[in-house]
Structure 1
Amino acid sequence: MRRNRRLTPRALSMITTTAVILTLAVALPGTPAAAARPPANLGQLAVVPLDDRPFTAYTPVAVAEAGGHQALTPPKDLLGEYFTYGQADAVGAWWRRAAADADGSVVAAPMLAYGGLVASRTCQTSLADARRRLTVLDEVKRKNPDKPLYAFDVIMRLTIEPTSSYPGIYSGPIRRWAILMDQVENLGQEERRAEYEQVANEIPEEIKADFRCARARDHQINRDMIERVANGTIDYLVLGQDDATEHGPHRLEKAGLAALAAKLGVQDRVKIYPGADILGALLVAKHITKRLGAAPTVDVEWSRTPGDQWVAPYQDVPYATLVDEYVRTLGARPSDSPDADILLMANTAGGGNLEPFADRIHEAVARGRLVAVGDDALAGKVDSELRSLLAPRIRFGELAGWSGWNIGLSISQSVVRAALLQASRTGRLPGFPGNSKGIPFQKARQAILLGAATAHVELTLQELAHTDLYRNQVLSQVQAYARDNGDDPQYMTKVFAGANQLAVQRTRALADQLFADEFAGTPIRAGNDSRDEVTAVVHRLTSWEMTLAWSRYQELEAFPTLALSTAPTDRGALLTVTALPLRTTVRPDSDVDERVTVVLRNDVGTPVTAQLSAVVPDGWVAPAPTGVRLAPFAVVEVPLTVGVRQLAAEQSATVTVEAPHVMPQNGHRQFAASATMTFGAVWRNVALAAEGATATASGWWRQYVPAHVIDGNRVSAGSRWITDPGDSHWLQVEFADPELIDTVRLYQYGGYELTAYRISGLVDGAWQVLSEVTGNTTQVTTHTVTPVRATAVRLDVLGSRDRQARLYEIEVTCRAAACG
């Protein structure tokens, strides 16, 4: 039913280049034998994955390759698949052999002890057997004392596998029971006891017993792992909390494990934080960063809710705490400097306008910074709102890292990329001693750097294909297909072949277009080969390997093979041109000169001369053409002034900046690069927090506070004002200063419109009714009134479809000519 996917690294022959010689082992006359054999990689890591899913098995391998290293992994048939657990003893025997040839190891204790993550959630393996299997850790370290051994284990999650067959139908009750267990038995919340006992009575005793048994066994193994750090067997250990919440058995387990680490004096080498699937990639990245002798700095920015005020789904610590832990685990350094090696843009949930966040990503990428995006706003998939905002601003292939759920991936990927670039430019590459000079070694470095760059871009492409294309656009179709054909989407035993075909066909077409739009032709700086900076472009997509990872609908393996090219003939441009900002707003029907910035980035190691000009709509005034000369890899910012003329209300127009360019020493071939910017005519909205407005209300439900209606976000479901049920509600927006107003527009929630309401303005200290509505069924309502000078507006909700008020945004403007 599934292909036996290869986990070994890519062949370097997939790199298309006219400048790289891949036959490196040929001795040159008169050279020592050692100098005639430059390495094919910067080192090898023996990696025991958590299981065979793409994120746990492919990602650590890809991160290793992106760092110029080779990851040795067990044969796939030893890792098991879903409810067919891995062959733990055979995997241990494989690792025992592989560790001898590797420069270090990263191992998942659940695979060695039980046969994988799913196996760790049942008590099928006894504590004695798990301990026996894990003695391989002691044996390998004893035989390889100088080779770093990094390991991770998992603190068991709150529930069992959610399948429709026994015992999975109890996954929901088990989770609730586990939370209540902590609240009642450990925290003494007796008011919850009745519910606790009721839920417990719904679950068969054998399931509860197995759950308790697995937790106790896993906890003891966690303790054993900490003791191995203390006795020197394990050099670094991460204990990841799988599916964390504020309450549950894990709360005391974590506290006990932290206390043990402190007692043994190893708290600096034992880390405990949320995460399970990402831990292998994190530790591989840590290994590589240390081997490269680098410590990149990481500056973090948040999109909406600040990281110290937000806890991501299935986690139990502030997001900022987790991000900081991940960064420090890798050996990187947190920094708030604008010159930090990596800019990590972390997308959080909550209210707020995402456009400024997307603009900051746009600007940083344009200027050539290493920008990584960690998108954790929505559990398990890409935030479509952020994706749509970034699509016209950047090419995703230019990012230093991307993760659509689980920021640990984008941190690991970007830190490894920064570390390799730094190490190549300082000459500190493992496997290349100081006397490794000459053409063969230079070509070897070049091949390794290009192979690493290829792996990096492939990792970004596959992550987007899985978490955006499949999970946002195809996953629900596969789930429905299984259900409609009488099968369990969580464990397909009847229609897997058809579901797999549907998943692959629908995703493949989207993935090919994604490559064409976001990756083809993207410039890549691979590092320094000891003489020159190696540059390339993403040349072509050679193939896809796609299949559902397990016999369930959640994960799709989507592995691309790409080819990079260093040939100038494969480049359409030597420059990247960006117009900032992407969108500029002006007052309707006005003549105004707008200042914009054009960023020119030279992507090659030779000087480039460009002629910059702008194409504007008829009647507008274009800036004068400007000649620009850019040194190798230079970034130049050119201010331009565009004369905008009489743009009608709520209309927009596009200006195209063109930059034909040549290399001075080879001026006969002309390259082309361009960028667009949009000018939109909009009325000034005085009911915006950005304009100094504030919002208050009669009340709100959960996190849907009144401030969301003045944040400029009209599309995000997380950015609404919602109330508890009631007969009436009110919302009031106060302006920063008295304002002349004549239009109020409400952006309501489709299907739950406000059916009756009244809009008033605070004029000369008294409320004046501006508009009253009954029987409304319209989602966006516009109310035009006689201009008044007001200090506030008030919305009184008198009726709705379900007695709750729901509102995305309130817009207050003045559109009359007298408004000026």
Structure 2
Amino acid sequence: MGKIAVVPLDDRPFTSYTPVAVAEAGGHQALTPPKDLLGEYFTYGQADAVGSWWRTAAAAADGSVVAAPMLAYGGLVASRTCETSLADARRRLDVLDEVKRKNPDKPLYAFDVIMRLTIEPTSSYPGMYSGPIRRWAILMDQVENLGQEELRAEYEQVASEIPEEIKADFHCARARDHQINRDMIERVAKGTIDYLILGQDDATEHGPHRLEKAALAALVAERGVADRVKIYPGADTLGALLVAKHITERLGAAPTVDVEWSRTPGDQWVAPYQDVPYATLVDEYLRTLGARPSDSPDADILLMANTAGGGNLEPFADRIHDAVARGRLVAIGDDALAGKVDSELRSLLAPRIRFGELAGWSGWNIGLSISQSVVRAALLQASRAGRLPGFPGKSKGLPFQQARQAILLGAATAHVELTLQELAHTDLYRNQVLSQVQAYARDNGDDPQYITKVFEGANQLAVQKVRPLADQLFADEFAGTPIRAGNDGRQEVTAVVHRLKSWDMTLAWTRYQELEIFPTLALSTELTDRSTLLTVSVLPLRNTVRPESDVDKKVTAVLRNDVGVPVRAEVSAVVPDGWVAPAPTEVSLAPFEVREVPLTVGVRGLAAEQNATVTVEAAHGLLPIGSRQLTSTATLTFGAVWRNVALASEGATASASGSWRQYVPANVIDGNRVSTGSRWITEAADSHWLRVDFAGPEQIDTVKLYQYGGYELTAYRISGLVDGAWQVLAEVTGNTTQVTTHTVTPVRATAVRLDVLGSRDRQARLYEIEVTCQGTSCG
């Protein structure tokens, strides 16, 4: 439906592949320079040659997205040194003015980067000074600009450890880059650039970038271009954002986006390497794309933003499960952990959804999830409204319909490939293999940040380890996933992810951080290639009952017809022996209808700490009934647990003698026993105390502590507040156990107190405290 000329930041997968994939997911083609012109790591790109390529490509395209660092210096890494003079950078960027003069009606979107705090981290000179330079740059701002004289001694000491030529190069590069940023703003003011993003690369609260940003913002205000120049954190994602902006504007769409946070609200959290609240950044990204923030449950996109901090992730996962089950476009922006997927979230979602159904999952940098999902929503909207560029709004015969269908299927394929690629890289490689490649390089006498001696072996190790994991990821989470591709002018185009054709894998650079891992998929529109016609989900996935009780539990089966024809289904359940199964229910679903089917499961005599699985089956076929019958299934679990009165959800509150950083006492009553971000941790001291007050008087006889392995509490005392006085319930010395259970004399208490009398390093660490009543006195 159009072409976009893209000059990428460099040749890494995120900066070069992602903008192309986003364009293709929006039914467009991205024109990019030959890869050999982009350079690789310390071999900088051929800036003049890239500029020449773009002159030609821009004329053939409908618009452009340009990374100024590539045109000016030869890429992002090159922008951090002063090898390119200001004069040469300016000369190279004259191509912007030339292209705009020749193509005045074609939108030109560009981005530049505010230099980060340090240089490339390698073990060789000058990279070995990366850490000291970062600290020196932060202190420079604190001492020289903010007058924090108490830090001057440290500042001067760090500065003395860095060679003068490195400091001089750092200052030179910063000054040159800052002037180029100013030049880019001036180009917006005179109309050369239609939209500009100045992205902050790896920011913190303090550093030279702070005043640079302020000066650039002042120039933006002075020139009156605040509507066309944005300054916010980000570097690698800016190309994808601007490509997505092109597409949404060409499609005439403005999708609405409802944002939800997992642990810490976005206005109270700053993501790693950023310097503004997360909610502010998300809002800026959305507005760049022309998307509209919305609190409506009917918003086009549900953006689930995974933040760090204490709290239970299960309700967040349940919300994703519910929305995906009903066919909503759900995107996950996963920035809780720098550079990779949050494994805790992945483990919670794996039994709930198929990842291929998502509108995007970025395992670092929510800008990708936003770009991908907004483009997806925009294309679906435009196709259904008959607004596909280059095509009539109404069907003009079979050739037009087939052409539209081919574009929609190609876009859907690119969309699913992008999601699979991102998860394969940021989950499989970065969570499971990256550390092995790092260790291989180091153990063989090489620098993991710059592998020059054993690259072939490191690359072979990376591919051999990732390939089987990636194949399994496709099989478990993508194969057979239903996809609605849009409307071809006569009907809704539906498909399934049919086949994984190939993988293309290699380490992107001569370092261990990035793996190029590009899949090629095949989608099918044939009903005969489907294993199911509808999707069944059961809400909630996890259910709890009191041990040894007989109880009827109500759950909801959500059936979603994934095809454009009516489907009839019979819903039934397989339950453990002795339980009572719900009566089978017959349901007829119109095309794409979502239907809730209430089910009642009779749970019988489940023992404490025991779990059991129920399988819900939906045997189904087309209406009128044909010979081919299919079955969709979903499982749910029932667990027998004692009521924990020491939960915030039960009305409990926690206080303590103190805490360290964000590891506050409330973390021990949030129901999260696994997340390292959800612990109570103290400063070092001889003793500590933790108190949990219940919502009211409670009968208790068991206290369980979930401790941090390797740093157990070695000596402690547990007391209960009974009739206004503290009563000792248990005392422990010499503990080496991570999870400790204490059965105590039954009492009716209003609070419990943990006095920590000894630990491995004089700090207290605790994931969770659980207080229950399990004996015959509990009623």
- Same fold by TM (over 0.5)? yes
The 2-side partners of 1:196 and 1:656 are apart by 63
- Determine the C-alpha separation between the residues in 2 that align with 1:51 and 1:584: 49
| Equivalent residue number for residue 702 of structure 1 | 661
Q: TM-score, normalised by structure 2?
A: 1.00
- 8 Å CA contact retained: 2:385, 2:393: no
Q: Following the alignment from structure 1 to structure 2, what is the Cα–Cα distance between the partners of residues 701 and 669?
A: 62
Residue pair 2:566, 2:590 contacting (<8 A) in 1 also: yes
1:372-419 CA deviation, whole Å, 9 max, x = no partner? 000000000011000100000000000001100000000000000000
SS at match of 1:246: coil
For 2:235, the aligned partner's letter is A
Displacement of 1:522 in angstroms is: 0.3
- Partners of 1:752 and 1:436 lie apart in 2 by 68
Deviation at 1:433, TM superposition (A): 3.4
Specify the alignment match of 2:256 in structure 1.
Answer: 297
Report how far residue 666 of structure 1 moved.
4.8
Name 2:555's counterpart in structure 1: 596
Who is 2:531 aligned against?
572
> For residues 248 and 170 of structure 1, what CA distance do their matches in structure 2 show?
17
- Aligned partner of 1:233 in structure 2 is 192
Q: Which residues of 2 match residues 296-445 of structure 1 at below 5 A?
A: 296-434=255-393, 437-445=396-404
Q: In the aligned structure 1, how far is the partner of 2:447 from the partner of 2:186?
A: 42
2:644 maps to 1:647: no
Partner of 1:29: none
Query: Residues 633-782 of structure 1 correspond to what in structure 2 (within 5 A)?
Result: 633-782=592-741
Instruction: Give the AA of the match of 1:289.
Output: T
Query: How far is 1:680 from its partner?
Result: 0.3
Aligned mates of 2:314, 2:287 — CA distance in 1: 30
Q: 2:581 aligns with which of 622, 646, 655?
A: 622
Distance 2:241 2:419 in 1: 16
Structure 2 stretches lacking a partner, 5+ long: none
Q: Which residue is 1:460 aligned to? A: 419
Determine whether 1:470 maps to 2:470: no
Aligned partners of 2:490 and 2:477: how far apart in 1?
31
Aligned partners of 2:710 and 2:140: how far apart in 1? 39
**Secondary structure, counterpart of 2:390 in structure 1:** coil
2:68 to 100, 103, 109: 109
Name the CA distance, whole Å, in 2 between partners of 1:792 and 1:139.
Answer: 74
Contact 2:394 2:489 in 1 (8 A): no
What does residue range 209-220 of structure 1 map to in structure 2 within 5 Å?
209-220=168-179
Aligned AA (1:737): G
Letter in 1 for 2:11: D
Q: Once the 2 structures are TM-superposed, how far is the Cα of residue 671 of structure 1 from its aligned partner? A: 1.1
Hey, what's the Cα distance between the residues in 1 that align with 2:730 and 2:139? 50
Provide the rounded CA distance (Å) in 2 between the counterparts of 1:465 and 1:657.
Answer: 30
Tell me: CA distance 1:792–1:107, structure 2 relative to 1, closer, same or farther (3 Å): same
- 8 Å Cα contact 2:393-2:489 kept in structure 1: no
Deviation at 1:819, TM superposition (A): 1.3
Q: Is the 8 A contact 2:702 2:771 kept in 1?
A: yes
Alpha carbons 2:47, 2:74 under 8 Å: kept: yes
Higher relative contact order, chain-length normalized (CA < 8 Å, sep 6+): 1
Which stretches of structure 1, 4 residues or longer, exceed 4 Å deviation after superposition? none
User: Is the CA contact (8 Å cut-off) linking 2:395 and 2:489 kept in structure 1?
Assistant: no
Looking at structure 1, the residues matched to 271 and 641 of structure 2 have their Cα atoms a distance apart, in angstroms, of 35
Post-superposition shift, 1:435?
6.9
Output the CA distance in 2 between the equivalents of 1:802 and 1:106: 54
Code of the aligned partner of 2:710: G
SS at match of 1:660: strand
Aligned to 1:611: 570
**% identity of equivalent residues:** 88
3-state SS of the aligned residue for 1:338? coil
C-alpha spacing 1:741/1:144, structure 2 compared with 1 (3 Å):
same
Displacement, 1:818? Answer: 2.7
Shift of 1:668: 1.3
Query: How many Å separate the matches in 1 of 2:61 and 2:288?
Result: 22
Given that 2:143 and 2:149 are in contact with CA atoms closer than 8 Å, whether structure 1 keeps it comes out as yes
Secondary structure (helix, strand or coil) at the match of 1:125 reads: coil
AA aligned to 1:139 is E
Q: In 1, Cα distance between the equivalents of 2:631 and 2:551? A: 30
Gapped regions of structure 1 (runs ≥ 5) = 1-41
Output the CA distance in 2 between the equivalents of 1:550 and 1:292: 36
1:175 to 124, 134, 152: 134
Distance 2:464 2:527 in 1: 35
Q: 2:542 aligns with which of 583, 588, 605?
A: 583
The reply on whether 1:253 has 2:208 as its aligned counterpart is no
Letter in 2 for 1:324: D
1:665 is displaced (CA, Å) by 2.9
Residue 499 of structure 2 corresponds to residue 540 of structure 1: yes
Distance in 1, matches of 2:194 and 2:749, equals 67
Alignment of 1:89 with 2:48, yes or no, is: yes
Q: CA deviation at 1:436?
A: 6.4
Q: Is residue 65 from structure 1 mapped to residue 24 from structure 2 by the alignment?
A: yes
| Residue type at the aligned position of 2:406 | A
Q: What letter matches 1:438 in structure 2?
A: G
How far apart are the structure 2 equivalents of 1:671 and 1:533?
22
Secondary structure of 2:87's counterpart equals helix
Choose which of 143, 146, 169 in structure 2 pairs with 1:187. Answer: 146
For the residue of structure 2 that corresponds to 1:164, the secondary structure is: coil
> Residue 524 of structure 1: which of 466, 483, 496 is its match?
483
Answering whether residue 182 of structure 2 is matched by residue 223 of structure 1, we say yes
Aligned residue identity for 1:183: Q
**Contact 2:340/2:426 (8 A) holds in 1:** yes
Task: Note the alpha carbon deviations across 1:444-490, whole angstroms, 9 max, x for none.
Answer: 00000000000000000000000000000000000000001000000
What is the deviation of 1:623? 0.8
Equivalent-residue separation in structure 1 for 2:736 and 2:68 (angstroms): 58
TM-score (norm 1): 0.95
1:805 aligned onto 2:764: yes
Q: Which residue number in structure 2 is paired with residue 99 of structure 1?
A: 58
Per the alignment, residue 9 of structure 1 pairs with: none
User: Which of residues 238, 260, 270 is equivalent to 1:279?
Assistant: 238
How far does the alpha carbon of each residue in 1:247-290 deviate from its partner, in whole angstroms, 9 at most, with x for none?
Answer: 00000000000110010000111000000000000000000000
SS in 2 for 1:229: helix
Match of 2:743 in 1: 784
Output the CA distance in 2 between the equivalents of 1:799 and 1:666: 70
Could you say what secondary structure the match of 2:440 adopts?
helix
Q: CA deviation at 1:434?
A: 4.4
> More displaced, 426-435 or 182-191?
426-435
Contact kept in structure 1, 2:386 and 2:394, CA below 8 Å: no
Q: Distance in 1 between matches of 2:305 and 2:133?
A: 32
Distance 1:296 1:86 in 2: 36
SS in 2 for 1:618: coil
CA RMSD of the aligned region, Å? 0.6
CA distance in 2, matches of 1:688, 1:767: 20
Aligned mates of 1:169, 1:284 — CA distance in 2: 36
Partner of 2:509: 550
Please tell me the residue identity of whatever aligns with 1:270: V
- What's the offset of the Cα at 1:787? 1.1
Rounded to whole Å, the distance in 1 between the matches of 2:743 and 2:393 is 76
SS of 2:626's equivalent?
A: strand
Please give the per-residue CA displacement for 1:516-538, whole angstroms capped at 9, x wherever unaligned. Answer: 00000000000000001000000
